[in-house]
């Protein structure tokens, strides 16, 4: 992708962004699998993916020679994930502190790939960042040791050491029970009921005046009037219903049969923010929402 001219028109910029997103579309699910485990949340992981793609789009236009897209984007994603952790978990040391010893994982300490893929996101936060990165890239995304070393700028012995310690730690975590929180607030239950009844006037009455809407990877709106278009779109669809649910501890709705998640932020007894992940189907494929009782 060549450098964007300063006199580029808005339609040209929009087309360039569309072309870039089509170019990286096949990589997005794996980027999300990596980022969500690095930060311990499928929702926050998608935010890191969005930042990664924004950074990649602007950096790519300035490069003389196209990079190896996959490893280049994963290096950006890794750095963005570390930036996120510095802000959200400032007490966590992020430097790579593994001893550069040539160590192989004991076969008895190997974590089956199926368990690594399905393990709760938050469990990965129990690992040091270097261990976390190596385990995700190797046991979830099936990178070779050489690819991991290149992507993380580590020596091969350091990768092996981090992988060994991370796998050993995760194996012990698999045996520990996970805390489960399923209940959502009465406001979310009421919103779901009104939504299923297609009672759009009553749904709007539940919104604060300055409500914020984000349909992730599609559009953003603010205020009751602007957000009204969102409900019009749902009103035009048939065969769906919503169920109160939690995902990563966030309350919201599971939309059936599509399976997408809508995060709701409650302020008092009203809805202050709506984040609809309809255009990000891999989100709930990574971590299934926990449905509440009726």
Q: What is the pLDDT of residues 54-64, one digit of tens each?
A: 998 888 777 77
Report the phi/psi class of residue 239: left, alpha or beta, with left for phi > 0 and alpha for psi in -120 to 50. left
Distance of CA 153 to the CA centre of its chain: 24
The span from the first CA to the last CA of the chain, in angstroms, equals 52
Tell the CATH topology of 107-174: Arc Repressor Mutant, subunit A (1.10.10)
3-class SS of residue 58: helix
Query: Does the 186-291 domain belong in CATH 3.10.110.10?
Result: no
pLDDT at 294 over 50: no
* pLDDT at position 12 over 80: no
Q: Which of 180 and 253 is assigned the larger pLDDT?
A: 253
Domain ranges of the chain: 10-88, 107-174, 186-291
Across the range 42-59, mean pLDDT stands at 92
Q: Is the fold of 10-88 the same as that of 186-291?
A: no
Look at residue 110 and give its three-state secondary structure.
coil
Mean pLDDT, rounded, of the chain: 83
Q: Residues 204, 205, 210, 214: what is their CA dihedral angle, to the nearest 10 degrees? A: -30
Phi/psi at 135 (nearest 5 deg)?
-65, -45
CATH annotation of 10-88: 1.10.1740.10
Q: What DSSP assignment string belongs to 120-155?
A: -HHHHTTS-HHHHHHHIIIIIT---HHHHHHHHT--
pLDDT in tens, 76-131: 999 999 999 988 866 665 555 555 455 555 544 555 555 666 666 777 888 888 89
* Cα angle for residues 265, 280, 183 (degrees, 5° grid): 35
Segment among 90-104, 205-219, 253-267 with least mean pLDDT:
90-104
Instruction: Characterize the bridge pairing of strands 207-215 and 270-276.
Output: parallel
Please give the helix or strand (H or E) that residue 192 lies within, else none. Answer: helix 186-196
- Low-confidence winner among 14-23, 122-131, 194-203 (lowest mean pLDDT): 14-23
pLDDT at position 100: 47
Q: Flag whether pLDDT at 5 surpasses 50.
A: no
């Amino acid at each position: 992708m060549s450098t964007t001219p300063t006199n580029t028109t808005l339609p040209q910029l929009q087309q360039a962004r569309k072309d870039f997103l089509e170019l990286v579309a096949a990589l997005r699910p794996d980027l999300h699998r990596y980022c969500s485990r690095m930060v311990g949340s499928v929702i926050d992981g998608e935010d890191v993916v969005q930042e990664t793609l924004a950074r990649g789009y602007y950096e790519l236009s300035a490069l003389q020679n196209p990079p190896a897209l996959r490893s280049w984007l994963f290096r950006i994603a890794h750095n963005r994930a570390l930036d996120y952790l510095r802000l959200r978990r400032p007490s966590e040391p992020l430097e790579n502190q593994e001893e550069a010893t040539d160590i192989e994982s004991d076969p008895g300490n190997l974590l089956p790939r199926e368990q690594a893929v399905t393990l709760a996101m938050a469990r990965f936060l129990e690992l040091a960042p270097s261990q976390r990165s190596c385990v995700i890239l190797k046991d979830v995304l099936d990178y070779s040791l050489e690819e991991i070393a290149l992507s993380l700028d580590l020596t091969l012995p350091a990768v092996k050491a981090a992988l060994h310690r991370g796998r050993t730690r995760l194996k012990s975590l698999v045996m520990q029970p996970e805390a489960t929180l399923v209940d959502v607030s009465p406001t979310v239950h009421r919103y779901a009921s009104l939504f299923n009844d297609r009672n759009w006037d009553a749904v709007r009455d539940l919104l604060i005046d300055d409500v914020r809407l984000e349909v992730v990877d599609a559009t953003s709106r603010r205020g009751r009037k602007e957000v009204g278009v969102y409900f019009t779109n749902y009103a035009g669809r048939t065969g769906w219903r919503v169920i109160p649910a939690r995902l990563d501890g966030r309350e919201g709705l599971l939309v059936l049969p599509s399976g997408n998640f809508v995060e709701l932020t409650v302020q008092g007894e009203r809805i202050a923010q709506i984040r609809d992940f309809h255009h990000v189907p891999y989100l709930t494929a990574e971590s299934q929402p926990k449905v509440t009782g009726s």
